[in-house]
């Protein structure tokens, strides 16, 4: 274990543990209270996960099953309210903070462990992620637990931590396929870090691997039975079929990391990684923990940054880099010149103030509107009102079937329109289903009954017209979302659905239409 040089403010490990537990517990209570007070609806992705949870399986169209299993557990215990769907999120991030703190304490000391735990709990992305249920929150709990188990195995053989490593790695893989970065990190650390190599290339390492394989077997079999739909979806997300090489996307991704990890922390992470590699042979033993941590952080940033440059990448795609990245940053800032401590304390204060403001805005619609943040919450506002408006039009038109062209709107209708007695379908634009909604509820070919099409995509209106014998606009929906934002639909009455073949002639006709309208 590398010791960080103490300062006059240091106290015993027990005191650091008590302080950390107190702060983490307080933040957990606050976040649960905010969930209970939040007046906003679920995001469409959350609604999709909730739909999955109603039929527990080993996999789903775009994700492995763990998030659905967790939502199934929380809603079975606490009911079907929106807060119950999200309830696990703050607990998962508290677990992650604790595991990272324990890992840092084993590699360095109790002070680094305490600040690492607090750093995670107050990280900008974690404030947001604690208010929603996402695969990132689920993944980080397993990833961080596996890291802690590995660090304990580095110290010496222990069957308990071999079992924990295999189980936690399996859980992470069932949470999000970004857990592949954990496997990459394990492979690299086995090469560059002798203690990790001894732990992994051993009988206990073999047992951990066997347990990992057993845990994920159900999902692997499910994927094989469903033509590896999640693999295809992941490849589609990479979007390598379009125009390649986008420096502006790389710039957007890198700037986004300042918001995910924190502006100072992200810059310091780069310095900490460089510092870890600038070592002499005599300093190797001291630098080894830092190099091992870099093996789980640097490859993620490089891979996702390359993906951003080639095509695109969302800011959260590199989130797992900050598990070990945070430990590197904290260890770096707690040694050396005094300005580093001030950078640490200032960052924690800034992140906390920003996070508390976010909590207040999430819990109060008037407050967020007064701050000019209506746009930030537009996707989670007005869904009950939207559903009521659509149901009213369906009743006026005497139509019992609704068809959507956007999977987000479709899922929100499923969630907040559960009193609707008719049928719900998706119009499928492409040759094959592009998402869970299109895969599960496509409008059948030859559907003869009249349908009401709820469309938010005016550019696709002519394409829908081609698929129906009768097609006319009968109404429009406009729901205020605060500020000057509205949710707007065109509503069409259609009948005689006969889906045109999505062949080359069809796509050429679409291209011609786009050229005419542009």
Instruction: Quick: pLDDT tens for 434-457.
Output: 899 999 999 999 999 999 999 999
Q: Where are the beta strands (DSSP E) in 74-162?
A: none
Contacts of 157-161 with CB under 8 Å at 24 or more apart are 157/199, 157/202, 157/204, 158/204, 159/204, 159/207
CB 211 within 8 A of CB 167: yes
Average pLDDT of 124-134? 96
Element (H, E) at 451: strand 451-455
Please indicate, yes or no, if residue 420 is contained in any of the structural domains. Answer: yes
Residue 3: its pLDDT value, please? 61
Backbone phi, then psi, for 305, in 5-degree steps? -65, -40
- Over residues 46-81, the pLDDT tens digits come to 999 999 999 999 999 889 999 999 999 999 999 999
Residue among 92, 302, 96, 283 nearest 185 (CA):
302
509, 391: one domain: yes
Alpha-carbon 362 to chain mean position:
19
CB 434 within 8 A of CB 478: no
Q: Is 472 helix (H, G, I), strand (E, B) or coil?
A: strand
**Geometric angle at alpha carbon 364, from 358 and 366, rounded to 5°:** 115
Residue 11: its pLDDT value, please? 61
Residue 1 has pLDDT above 50, yes or no: yes
- Over residues 328-371, the pLDDT tens digits come to 999 999 999 999 999 999 999 999 999 999 999 998 989 998 88
Instruction: For residues 189 and 183, give the distance between their C-alpha atoms in angstroms, rounded to a whole number.
Output: 10
497, 390: one domain: yes
Residue 9: its pLDDT value, please? 47
308, 426: one domain: no
Residue 176 has pLDDT above 50, yes or no: yes
Cβ neighbour number for residue 196 with a 10 Å cutoff: 25
pLDDT confidence bin for 281, thresholds 50/70/90? very low
Q: Report how many domains make up the chain.
A: 2
Instruction: For residues 103 and 108, give the distance between their C-alpha atoms in angstroms, rounded to a whole number.
Output: 9
Where is the domain boundary, 274, 300, 335? 335
416, 494: one domain: yes
CB 86 within 8 A of CB 133: yes
CB 365 within 8 A of CB 39: yes
Residue among 80, 87, 57, 73 nearest 416 (CA):
80
Instruction: For residues 109 and 97, give the distance between their C-alpha atoms in angstroms, rounded to a whole number.
Output: 16
Length of the chain: 518
Instruction: For residues 468 and 450, give the distance between their C-alpha atoms in angstroms, rounded to a whole number.
Output: 10
Residue among 76, 140, 62 nearest 326 (CA):
140
- Burial-class residue 156 by CB neighbours within 10 Å (0-12, 13-18, 19+): exposed
Instruction: For residues 33 and 55, give the distance between their C-alpha atoms in angstroms, rounded to a whole number.
Output: 29
* b/e map 23-41, b = 16+ CB within 10 Å: bbeebbeebbebbeebebb
Its domain, for residue 412, covers: 382-517
* Helix pair angle (135-155, 66-78), 10° resolution: 110
Please indicate, yes or no, if residue 262 is contained in any of the structural domains. Answer: yes
Instruction: For residues 384 and 386, give the distance between their C-alpha atoms in angstroms, rounded to a whole number.
Output: 5
Residue among 467, 517, 456, 464 nearest 490 (CA):
456
Residue 16: its pLDDT value, please? 87
331, 386: one domain: no
Under DSSP, the state recorded for 4 is: P
393, 299: one domain: no
386, 513: one domain: yes
Residue 279 has pLDDT above 90, yes or no: no
Element (H, E) at 477: strand 468-480
pLDDT confidence bin for 240, thresholds 50/70/90? low
CB 103 within 8 A of CB 151: yes
398, 302: one domain: no
Please tell me which residue, 373 or 103, carries the higher pLDDT value: 103
CB 40 within 8 A of CB 85: no
Please indicate, yes or no, if residue 28 is contained in any of the structural domains. Answer: no
508, 387: one domain: yes
- In angstroms and rounded to an integer, the radius of gyration of the C-alpha atoms of the chain is 25
Instruction: For residues 479 and 475, give the distance between their C-alpha atoms in angstroms, rounded to a whole number.
Output: 13
Please indicate, yes or no, if residue 351 is contained in any of the structural domains. Answer: no
Please indicate, yes or no, if residue 284 is contained in any of the structural domains. Answer: yes
CB 435 within 8 A of CB 407: yes
Please indicate, yes or no, if residue 260 is contained in any of the structural domains. Answer: yes
419, 309: one domain: no
Average pLDDT of 234-254? 74
Residue 237 has pLDDT above 90, yes or no: no
**Geometric angle at alpha carbon 55, from 146 and 407, rounded to 5°:** 95
Element (H, E) at 423: strand 423-426
When the pLDDT of each residue in the chain is averaged and rounded to a whole number, the result is 92
Query: What DSSP letter does each residue of 282-339 carry, written as one string?
Result: GGHHHHHHHHHHHHHHHHHHHHHHHHHHHT---GGGGTTHHHHHHHHHHHHHTSSSHH
Backbone phi, then psi, for 201, in 5-degree steps? -95, 75
Where is the domain boundary, 277, 305, 335? 335
Where is the domain boundary, 335, 364, 390? 335
> Mean pLDDT lowest for which of 126-135, 397-406, 431-440?
431-440
Q: What percent of the chain has pLDDT over 90?
A: 76
Residue 242: its pLDDT value, please? 63
Question: Tokens for 99?
Answer: 């595991």
325, 430: one domain: no
Q: Which residues make beta-bridge pairs with 424?
A: 402
Please indicate, yes or no, if residue 386 is contained in any of the structural domains. Answer: yes
Please indicate, yes or no, if residue 208 is contained in any of the structural domains. Answer: no
Please tell me which residue, 447 or 227, carries the higher pLDDT value: 447
Residue 239: its pLDDT value, please? 62
pLDDT confidence bin for 289, thresholds 50/70/90? confident
Task: Indicate the pTM of the whole model.
Answer: 0.93
Q: Which residues make beta-bridge pairs with 471?
A: 494
Average pLDDT of 482-501? 94
Alpha-carbon 352 to chain mean position:
21
397, 476: one domain: yes
Residue 282: its pLDDT value, please? 45
């Amino acid at each position: 274990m590398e010791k960080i040089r103490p300062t006059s403010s240091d106290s015993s490990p027990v005191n650091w543990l008590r302080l950390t537990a107190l702060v983490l517990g307080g933040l957990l209570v606050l976040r649960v209270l905010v969930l209970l007070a939040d007046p906003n609806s679920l995001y469409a992705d959350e609604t999709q996960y909730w739909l999955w949870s109603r039929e527990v399986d080993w996999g789903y169209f775009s994700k492995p099953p763990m998030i659905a299993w967790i939502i199934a557990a929380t809603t079975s215990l606490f009911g079907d309210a929106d807060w119950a769907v999200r309830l696990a999120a703050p607990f998962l991030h508290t677990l992650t903070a604790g595991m990272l703190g324990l890992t840092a304490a084993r590699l360095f000391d109790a002070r680094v462990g305490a600040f690492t735990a607090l750093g995670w709990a107050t990280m900008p992305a974690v404030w947001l992620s604690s208010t929603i249920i996402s695969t990132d929150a689920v993944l980080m709990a397993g990833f961080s637990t596996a890291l802690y188990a590995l660090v304990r195995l580095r110290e010496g053989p222990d069957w308990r931590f071999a079992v924990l490593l295999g189980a936690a790695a399996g859980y992470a893989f069932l949470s999000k396929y970004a857990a592949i970065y954990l496997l990459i990190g394990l492979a690299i650390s086995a090469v560059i870090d002798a203690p990790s190599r001894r732990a992994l290339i051993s009988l206990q390492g073999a047992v951990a691997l066997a347990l990992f394989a057993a845990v994920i077997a159900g999902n692997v079999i499910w994927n094989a039975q469903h033509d590896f739909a999640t693999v295809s979806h992941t490849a589609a997300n990479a979007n390598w079929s379009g125009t390649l090489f986008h420096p502006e996307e790389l710039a957007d991704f890198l700037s986004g990391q300042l918001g995910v990890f924190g502006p100072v922390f992200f810059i310091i992470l780069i310095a900490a990684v460089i510092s870890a590699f600038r070592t002499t042979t005599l300093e190797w033993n001291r630098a080894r923990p830092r190099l091992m941590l870099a093996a789980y952080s640097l490859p993620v940033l490089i891979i996702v940054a390359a993906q951003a440059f080639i095509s695109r990448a969302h800011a959260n795609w590199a989130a797992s880099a900050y598990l070990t990245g945070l430990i590197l940053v904290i260890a770096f800032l707690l040694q050396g010149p005094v300005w580093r401590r001030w950078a640490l304390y200032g960052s924690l204060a800034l992140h906390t103030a920003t996070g508390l403001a976010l909590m207040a805005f999430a819990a109060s619609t008037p407050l967020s509107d007064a701050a000019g943040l209506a746009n930030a919450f537009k996707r989670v506002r007005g869904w009950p009102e939207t559903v009521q408006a659509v149901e009213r039009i369906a009743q006026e038109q005497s139509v019992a079937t609704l068809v959507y062209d956007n999977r987000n709107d479709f899922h929100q209708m499923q969630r907040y329109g559960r009193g609707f007695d008719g049928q719900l379908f998706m119009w499928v634009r492409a040759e094959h289903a592009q998402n869970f909604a299109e895969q599960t509820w496509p409008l059948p070919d030859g559907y003869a009954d009249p349908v009401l099409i709820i469309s938010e995509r005016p550019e696709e209106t002519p394409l829908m017209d081609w698929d129906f014998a009768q097609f006319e606009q009968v109404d429009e929906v406009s729901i205020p979302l605060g500020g000057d934002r509205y949710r707007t639909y065109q509503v069409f009455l259609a009948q005689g659905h006969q889906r045109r073949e999505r062949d080359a002639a069809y796509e050429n006709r679409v291209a011609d239409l786009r050229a005419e309208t542009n």
